[in-house]
Structure 1
Amino acid sequence: MNIFEYMEKYDYEELVMCQDKESGLKAIISIHDTTLGPALGGSRMWTYQNEAEAIEDALRLSRGMTYKAAAAGLNLGGGKTVIIGDPKTDKNEAMFRALGRFIQGLNGRYITAEDVGTTVADMDLIHEETDFVTGISPAFGSSGNPSPVTAYGVYVGMKATAKEAFGDDSLEGKTIAVQGVGNVSFNLCQYLHDEGAKLIVTDINKEAVQRAVEAFDAKAVDINDIYSVDCDIFSPNALGAVINDDTIPQFKCRVIAGAANNVLKEERHGDQIHEMGFYYAPDYVINAGGVINVADELLGYNRERAMKKVEGIYQNIERVFDIASRDGIATYRAADRMAEERIQSLRNTRSTFLTNEKSMLNGRG
């Protein structure tokens, strides 16, 4: 991987390599874009095969966070930390405190949070060294478990997508196939059940399936059968890459909307479902409730205010469909365009401000 070539291609700002011999910390912080504000993105701990794989993951994930924050209307950019190591065996206090000092050294350009392989307890250790961390224990003013908020955002985004597909946003009587019934999805199912939707569920965890069946009078199906059930809405809430060559021919729905990330295996699959007439809610737009909630912590967390902002996902989904119609493109492309247009608009505005400021300093104001 030619790192500078890759960074130039996608206009990354900064890549920071962090190591602490005593604690064993080997981490990479990627800051993609801070046009809208400081970069926000979680700290992921993973057993990467090599350093190149870790760097590529940090770069890819930080760019994704830029688009998610921009599409959500947040005044934040995109960043990410990846820690090379086994989260089950390699963690220690000194490691996360060392990472906290590296983050503090960035002086607010980057704010971290919990991610795959890290926990609230890990964020608390980072918090010992820096204030530029969210998702810490509620005792420190955090918002706590983000799953219910993420689920609410998916719910309102699903309603907006249903309005595009069916003419109104009511989910009463709609049959919804829910793939995965973990923490986020169980809360989503509660919203759907309360509105009168009929649920079909699946999960590799049989206990999770049984819990959903009992709580929501849901119908359970095998994990391989969820794609082909007769339904109005297919809701992916577990694995990525579930929209692919094998599954698309099986779909018997009109809407695809869920909490899972990276559900398109390849971009061409987004174009394919668009051409086939499916109504797809782009994942990073509809599942942004968690990052919206975490971002509110930066203001001093207020749950009522955060939930009001999450309701804005409804309008964001509407905007995606408007752009898709305006430009004759698939919704996944429209989501990117929506994010890019907002970033460019603010970049131009801030560029003008900075130019004027420089002129004043040079005696030309």
Structure 2
Amino acid sequence: MNIWTQDYEQLIFLQDRSIGFKAIIAVHHTKLGPALGGCRMMDYGNEEEAVLDALRLARGMTYKSALAGIPYGGGKAVIVGRPGTAVNREAWFRSLGKQLHKLNGLYITGLDLGSTVQDMDGVREETAYVTDTTGSLGADNELTATMTAYGVFLGIRASLKRAYGSESLRNKVIAVQGLGKVGFKLCRYLQEADAKLIVADIDAARVRLAAASFGALASSPEAIAAVPCDVFAPCALGGVLHEGAIAALDCAIVAGAANNQLATPEDGERIHGRGILYAPDYAINAGGIIVTAAELEGADAAKAKSDTERIYGSLERIFAEASLRGLSTAAAADQITEELLGKQLF
């Protein structure tokens, strides 16, 4: 599926030259409710890369919300900039907040890669259409990241049950690519379940910390996808499952937290063709958006955790339907989700 041929409700380009601010908001679908999706801040190579990322992520949020059974659509904001550089972050995020307010609730933003709770506080200065602010459910004890990791942990167990007949992680080898907030928390869940970990991250300090905390073995970011393991868990950026990487996989299962893991739709078929069980990303990593929905509904952490636990059954359904329909799990997940959306996205 060519992302450029898909219908989107809005694609908005933002710029404030006086503060060096440039951003993009993509709203994919709001027929089931306001679009949800965090604000990502990255140093994109060019504007086209930023647009494509926003479009892919927004569509993924539509599918994630629908499959998770929450009444929201999909959207995404991306700010073009390098996190950690000397910019006026408060001014940047307040500028984003001003635009969100003009959308009058069509899109609600929150945390994502490169943004912080303090950044969301800046958005809150200009609009109420933001989550994950100081004192909120999503920001409290990093619940958004924790539930994302918990959902992936449950999804790995569901995948092991499908592939091996048992969900036990004891002595199973899990290769975790990416040790950010979600990847690191996932490692803790896995280590407590007696899994053996191999980890990689571009930040060598995070790798050392994982080795000390979990007894993990280290791999390089370039080699981690090809290490022999039971489960490869991509938890960094998207697009890691491309033709070359899939050919090199030495695992029974791919199940991780990263968004948009497949570089192209055809890559879902390539994984299937290799006999590797793939847990579709927007099914397994829905814990964060479930927390956001709970926050907007005024629910508590216990409700968010209970709803996140449905990820296990959602994956079981995808695996069963893929087998029944003779499809890859990626294609089966899309079909199930589009049926939930009433087949007609627009």
* TM above 0.5: yes
1:273-308 residue CA offsets vs partner (Å, 9 max, x unmatched): 212211111112111111211221102251111011
C-alpha displacement of 1:260: 2.0
Match status 1:124 vs 2:121: yes
Aligned to 1:308: 306
Aligned to 1:191: 189
Match status 1:59 vs 2:73: no
The amino acid of 1:136's aligned partner reads T
Residues 182-261 of structure 1 mapped to structure 2, 5 A cutoff: 182-261=180-259
5+ residue gaps in structure 1? 349-365
Aligned to 2:130: 133
Distance 1:223 1:101 in 2: 38
Whether contact under 8 Å (1:202, 1:221) holds in the other structure is yes
Aligned to 1:152: 150
What percent identity do the matched residue pairs reach? 48
Distance 1:19 1:249 in 2: 41
C-alpha displacement of 1:245: 3.4
Match status 1:335 vs 2:333: yes
Match status 1:171 vs 2:139: no
Match status 1:44 vs 2:40: yes
Aligned to 1:11: 7
1:184-208 residue CA offsets vs partner (Å, 9 max, x unmatched): 2222122112222222233333332
Cα 1:149/1:174, change in 2 over 3 Å: same
Aligned to 1:93: 90
The amino acid of 1:167's aligned partner reads G
- TM-score normalised over the length of structure 1: 0.84
- Structure 2 residue matching 1:138: 3-state secondary structure: coil
Cα 1:180/1:267, change in 2 over 3 Å: same
Whether contact under 8 Å (1:143, 1:293) holds in the other structure is no
Distance 2:100 2:243 in 1: 42
- Structure 1 residue matching 2:76: 3-state secondary structure: strand
Cα 1:315/1:24, change in 2 over 3 Å: same
Whether contact under 8 Å (1:36, 1:346) holds in the other structure is no
Distance 1:205 1:117 in 2: 15
C-alpha displacement of 1:144: 4.5
Distance 1:342 1:24 in 2: 42
Aligned residues: 343
Structure 1 residue ranges, 4+ long, deviating more than 6 angstroms after superposition: 345-348
Aligned to 1:105: 102
Whether contact under 8 Å (1:173, 1:196) holds in the other structure is yes
Distance 1:345 1:267 in 2: 18
- Structure 2 residue matching 1:147: 3-state secondary structure: helix
Distance 1:292 1:140 in 2: 11
Aligned to 1:33: 29
1:125-146 residue CA offsets vs partner (Å, 9 max, x unmatched): 1111211101111269844522
Aligned to 1:356: none
Aligned to 2:297: 299
5+ residue gaps in structure 2? none
- Structure 2 residue matching 1:12: 3-state secondary structure: coil
Match status 1:181 vs 2:179: yes
Name which of structure 1's ranges 170-179 and 71-80 shifts more when overlaid on structure 2: 170-179
1:309-354 residue CA offsets vs partner (Å, 9 max, x unmatched): 1111111111211221232111111222222111116979xxxxxx
C-alpha displacement of 1:23: 4.6
Match status 1:287 vs 2:280: no
